[in-house]
Amino acid sequence: MPNKKSDTDFIKRKSILEDIDYHKDRNYYCEKKLLTNEATVEMFFVNRLLTDLGYKDKNIKAKESIDKVTIAKGSKKISYKPDYIIIEKKNPLLVIDAKSPSENIDDYVEQCAHYCLLLNRDKKTVRYFLLTNGLKTALYKWDEGKPIFELNFEDFYIGGTKYEQFRTLLSLNEMKNDGTVSEEEKERFITLKKINKEDAQKIFKGCHKYIWNTEKRGANSAFIEFVKLIFLKLWNDRKLHEQYIPDEDGNLKIPSTANTFSVKWLESREGEMLNPMNDIQFKDLMNHIQDDIDKNKKKQIFDTDDKINLKPTTIKGVLKKLEGFDLFGIDEDLNGRLFETFLNATMRGASLGQYFTPRSIVLLGTLLADLKVSENHIDKVLDGSCGTGGFLIEALTIMRNKVRDNKSYSREKKDELIGRISNECMYGIDAAKDPNLSRIARINMYLHGDGGSHIYYGDGLEKNIEVDKSENRIIQSETEDMKKFMKPNSFDVVTTNPPFSMWYELTDESQKKVLKEYELIKLDGTTKERNRLRGSAMFIERYCDLLRGEAN
């Protein structure tokens, strides 16, 4: 296998999926701070683990109904009983003992093993015993003193190799059989193929067409649901790249149990719930993104109560098309480029009546802006009618490449400057609500590596920005954030293609309020006012206010 990349290699952009710390303070079952004593370990960790493994009430014998036995501990004899015994048809299969996070589970191996020995005197049905204090979990064969699995708190996450194999071994269906996973199954590998741009475009279009036809949805609705699945796919592949290194051809060979964005994983969960990809994986991703939003590290991407609004059979069809490929390992910015190509092909034209600036014009305009990047100054860029973020993405790419191409910068300095460009220097506003283009632009920017995403829903022409109390709490909060940045003399460059067909009328009360803030409404040399203004002209005045003095 090839070695990890050297410091001289190309600096890959970061995306939201790389920044999300998906298993530091929480795992699939709970937050670490909830585990304070033995009772909370049972309540928040063990009970949820047993539910996840598929056990019903009839399979779980709790401490109150378990008999104490006298066992030897060194030279002493003590009374002991575990916290849970898992049974099937009255036969004990698994013994579980939960401890406080402050206790060392290694101190209880002998006691738990002795208890299993006593249970197996007549008929050897107990296969394993499990010890956990929430922070550390160890699984033993009933007659062995060395654990076959050891997992830390943060190892319990969807896609984690240890967790997936642990879960497979202890699931109710497996325990009903012979309780073991064959060595062949444990070691079975699959290969995720590195994909090129042309093949990826074909697959993406095929997925979208499949969703569109199967669900009878409009192009926009089908696209939004497809984006959710792509996010899950990228997140899955990102986690795999943390554990496995691609071969010399760029393909990723992994254990089959580690690939959770797959039909196999979906089918392993179908007996427990109707829509596992939504109820487990998307919900888990949303929780981790929300953690970062709560810490003010990220902005909202999806609505807080959002879900994958696709039938399980449709999701399975998309999984079949995508599961064999590695999307996270593809070339620099390809995810974002594919997103934008796919987006424009999907959303332009009669279905939405929206106009998207051609890529060639976006590139020309951004190059003409001659964006400046140095240790002492980085241009702050604005698009007040950003649409899906095309101009900002081009600016982001050009500025990052200027840093990468500067041989006088150390690797650390390049990382620092690229971080500042991504998180502090790109700003966009869009007023389209159906679809919410600002939200789509934010997703687009995230996939291109914008860590901060100062992309806002709002009227880019509004000079006196006010919070609309009729909007939801999230939009109100974003508007407050936007007010802090949209101040006179705040930006160095505007790259934009404002809507030329839009007019603001004095006869419209909501538009009148905005119009009254503009000097252009006044007829030269008089106190009279124009009845209306073209939006594109208003944008020129607005941008003149926001640009720094030198730019003016």
Q: Which tens digit of pLDDT belongs to each residue from 511-538? A: 998 999 999 998 877 778 899 999 889 9
Q: Are residues 399 and 386 in the same domain?
A: yes
Q: Are residues 348 and 378 in the same domain?
A: no
Answer yes or no: are the C-beta atoms of 394 and 495 closer than 8 Å. Answer: yes
Among the candidates 320, 354, 388, a domain finishes at 354
The total of structural domains in the chain comes to 3
Q: Is 205 helix (H, G, I), strand (E, B) or coil?
A: helix
Which residues lie closer than 8 Å to 487 by C-beta, 6 or more apart?
Answer: 546
Predicted confidence at residue 32, as pLDDT, reads 92
CA–CA dist 201, 187 (Å, integer): 33
Predicted confidence at residue 50, as pLDDT, reads 94
Predicted confidence at residue 550, as pLDDT, reads 58
Question: Helices marked H in 449-503 — which ranges?
Answer: 473-485
Tell me: the pLDDT tens digits for 219-263?
777 878 888 898 888 888 888 887 888 888 888 888 888 889 999
CA–CA dist 549, 552 (Å, integer): 5
Tell me the residue range of the domain where 55 lies. Answer: 32-156
- Name the pLDDT band for 336 (thresholds 50, 70, 90): low
Tell me: the pLDDT tens digits for 27-51?
889 989 999 999 999 999 999 999 9
Q: Please give the distance of CA 300 from its chain centroid, rounded to a whole number.
A: 11
Tell me: the pLDDT tens digits for 346-364?
665 444 434 467 778 889 9
Answer yes or no: are the C-beta atoms of 81 and 115 closer than 8 Å. Answer: yes
Determine the average pLDDT of the residues in 289-313. 79
pLDDT at 542 over 80: yes
pLDDT at 3 over 50: no
Indicate which CATH number applies to the domain containing 104: 3.90.1570.30
Predicted confidence at residue 7, as pLDDT, reads 40
CA–CA dist 281, 279 (Å, integer): 6
- Strand segments, DSSP code E, in 99-173 are 128-132, 136-141, 149-152
Q: Are residues 135 and 248 in the same domain?
A: no
pLDDT at 325 over 80: yes
Determine the average pLDDT of the residues in 419-425. 90
Q: What percent of the chain has pLDDT over 70?
A: 86
Q: What residues does 98 pair with on adjacent strands?
A: 132
Answer yes or no: are the C-beta atoms of 262 and 321 closer than 8 Å. Answer: no
Domain annotation covers residue 13: no
Indicate which CATH number applies to the domain containing 508: 3.40.50.150
Tell me: the pLDDT tens digits for 465-505?
988 888 888 888 889 989 999 999 999 999 999 887 789 99
Domain annotation covers residue 169: no
Determine the average pLDDT of the residues in 99-118. 93
Q: Are residues 308 and 415 in the same domain?
A: no
76-80/69-73 β-pairing = antiparallel
Predicted confidence at residue 187, as pLDDT, reads 52
Residue 436 is given by DSSP the state B
Q: Are residues 348 and 362 in the same domain?
A: no
325-326/252-255 β-pairing = unpaired
Answer yes or no: are the C-beta atoms of 138 and 149 closer than 8 Å. Answer: yes
